Structure 1
């Protein structure tokens, strides 16, 4: 598998190099030189395969001979060892539950796969791998648990002060071992900017072996394609073939993976990018002008991204052709008041308790159906996190229905530790340099 930079299509690097370097020096993002289509026979009979089998088929098609077959199978079996059920809510509506992994968020797919890929490629005696990650909520917890105890790695998680939920913060700050957390006085965009500046800094790169665990890393994107194929397999078992995916979107890695699956041959009629008021992409699709803004805090905090990194990958998938993109992607935005109404509607009409991100994806399905009343496709909206992560969002009667997983209860007894920094690169750089081992 060869990859290029979105800023330089003549560049060629291996998958291993892209995984460890994370982002090219030209500040583009890595993309596959070739996106091969999965064979038609596999797609036509996909309902016969289980999730690990589907994951192996997709990964081996993309990666080719980067990892030997037996090793890749073992890696996938270890990383993707939990379910992603498509739960039927009515005859034409399903919710894809992606919160059954250890951190109770969809990002377990990417983080666990990536950590195991990195551990596979790391050799004894090599320089310590420093993983830098910015999080708006769920990425940090998934990465922390994915890398916890992985030899020869150290993870530094930056999160915005006061802008993650209490449970998310516990998942970031109670691990110890090779995981450290930094509470940044700023927004997620500030955290992400600090990480990107670190990757571009010559002195830091000379002293550390830096890589990212954000969705800018291609090894985060690849495993997220698995659950799109697996969902289609689950629907096909029930005789359903036309599907629309509604995806809660912040940094646009999740829907980017869905669109990569589409390019690999997954039959999808439409993708809906559902955002909160951080609406850079909906505004772009409406106006044709791409203009980022500082992020605003909302109930759906994991989507509070004003400058979504993965949008450049999505545009690259469609050769910068906005009209071609708009044939496949629709986008809607919703504010906090609408989000709460979505949570209540799901509870009252479909007897389902959903986190605020999931509620936004549901609202986008309803909006799409209003605008396309003759479309009889099956709609699947993605549930990206367990509702227990957002206890302060729900009305009391709905909150009472939320089951609290045992791992969440256990977190509350653990000591919390986080360093505090301003959103200032010089301060962050000094922090990193003070930690040279």
Structure 2
């Protein structure tokens, strides 16, 4: 299978090059040249399969031309070591809990898959790989823990100073070993810009082997489709249409859901739910896509003003903006609405994190205007990762899982960094 750049479909590379380079030389995102489709029989058999068996089927259909059966089983087995339970919150409303992995966030799936796939592809290489990661929260912790101790790989995480929750920050600034954290005096978009500029800098790329573990990398992006297949297989549909609501920042997660749909999964509708960083909801309502400076909110992992995966979403719909707007509906919510959602759902016996709250609100808004659906919203992180927001909203103390509380004991170790590229480039050039 070849992978093409969203900037130039005629520019195609191998799986290995797409994964190791992360970003195309023309600044495009890599996409598979064709998307395999599962048969109706295979779709109907999902309900009788385990999560791992679904993983073998889906990943096998996508990667069988490049990986052996043994490598696919090893890859899926390493990735799917924890569950993604579907929990009923209200009638016809379900939460897909994606926070049961090592760092209690949905990005554990992609990070574990990415680290394992890179190690498989680099088996015969003696060159050190530098993984550059911009994070607004959960990406940093998931990638750091997914790559911790992986031989031949050094991870450099850039995060915006003062704009990441304490628990998220502790999960990637206290690890040491092959993980380095750069505290950037700016916002997430500044971090993302630094990473992209580094990938396109000829001098750096001549000296270093740079790659990404953000969702711009197909190895982080593609495996997220697995939990859509799994959720669909466990969802009581009762003859109703299916809608997934995805709290969205860089839009890789919803893009993976659309990939699952393109592979034949019968999802009827998607909802892109954001906070006030609403460039994509604005686009979906008919406006031009226009990147804007990000705004800080209580759902900080979605504080993205220029979503990197937007070209990938368009590519999934054949660059047909009208079709994109038909299949995906956009909603956005401010902090006050987010907090009220956390408060309103608690009497049902369910605790939302701020991102899941935004997904819940988007799902409810869509279902209120479109009867006949059963809906799933993605709960992307454990509420304890946003303890201050949730405890203040509910007026009660959260009990943290032991592995989450353990991170608080670690000592933060960061390198301060300005948002200018030359400083960052100098740091990279001086790496041993």
Give TM class, smaller chain.
over 0.9
CA shift digits 1:299-353 (9 cap, x unpaired): 00000000001010000111221221122100000000100011111112x2211
- 1:20 positional shift: 0.2
Give TM-score, length-normalised by structure 1.
0.96
Q: Which residue of structure 1 lines up, in the alignment, with residue 263 of structure 2?
A: 264
* 3-state DSSP of counterpart to 1:88: strand
RMSD: 1.3
Farther off after superposition, 123-132 or 9-18: 123-132
The answer for unaligned runs of 5 or more in structure 2 is: none
Pick from 357, 360, 363: which aligns with 1:362?
Answer: 360
1:61 counterpart = 2:65: no
Q: Which residue of structure 1 lines up, in the alignment, with residue 279 of structure 2?
A: 280
Q: 1:23 to 1:398 in 2, by over 3 A?
A: same
Q: Is the 8 A contact 2:140 2:157 kept in 1?
A: yes
Q: 1:344 to 1:240 in 2, by over 3 A?
A: farther
Pick from 414, 418, 421: which aligns with 1:418?
Answer: 414
Take 2:113 and 2:233, find their aligned partners in 1: how far apart are those partners? 21
Q: Is the 8 A contact 1:136 1:188 kept in 2?
A: yes
* 3-state DSSP of counterpart to 1:390: helix
* 3-state DSSP of counterpart to 1:169: helix
Q: 1:219 to 1:182 in 2, by over 3 A?
A: same
1:383 counterpart = 2:379: yes
Q: Which residue of structure 2 lines up, in the alignment, with residue 371 of structure 1?
A: 369
Q: 1:401 to 1:43 in 2, by over 3 A?
A: farther
Map 1:313-352; keep pairs closer than 5 Å: 313-348=312-347, 350-352=348-350
* 3-state DSSP of counterpart to 1:12: strand
The answer for unaligned runs of 5 or more in structure 1 is: none
Q: Which residue of structure 2 lines up, in the alignment, with residue 194 of structure 1?
A: 194
Q: Is the 8 A contact 1:353 1:401 kept in 2?
A: no
* 3-state DSSP of counterpart to 2:133: strand
Q: Is the 8 A contact 1:235 1:241 kept in 2?
A: no
Q: Which residue of structure 2 lines up, in the alignment, with residue 147 of structure 1?
A: 147
- 1:399 positional shift: 5.9
CA shift digits 1:272-308 (9 cap, x unpaired): 0000000000111123311110000000000000000
Take 1:360 and 1:415, find their aligned partners in 2: how far apart are those partners? 32
* 3-state DSSP of counterpart to 1:255: helix
* 3-state DSSP of counterpart to 1:427: helix
Q: Which residue of structure 1 lines up, in the alignment, with residue 404 of structure 2?
A: 408
Farther off after superposition, 390-399 or 424-433: 390-399
- 1:126 positional shift: 1.5
Q: Is the 8 A contact 2:333 2:358 kept in 1?
A: yes
Q: 1:101 to 1:378 in 2, by over 3 A?
A: same
Take 1:205 and 1:399, find their aligned partners in 2: how far apart are those partners? 51
Take 1:133 and 1:412, find their aligned partners in 2: how far apart are those partners? 22
Q: Which residue of structure 2 lines up, in the alignment, with residue 427 of structure 1?
A: 423
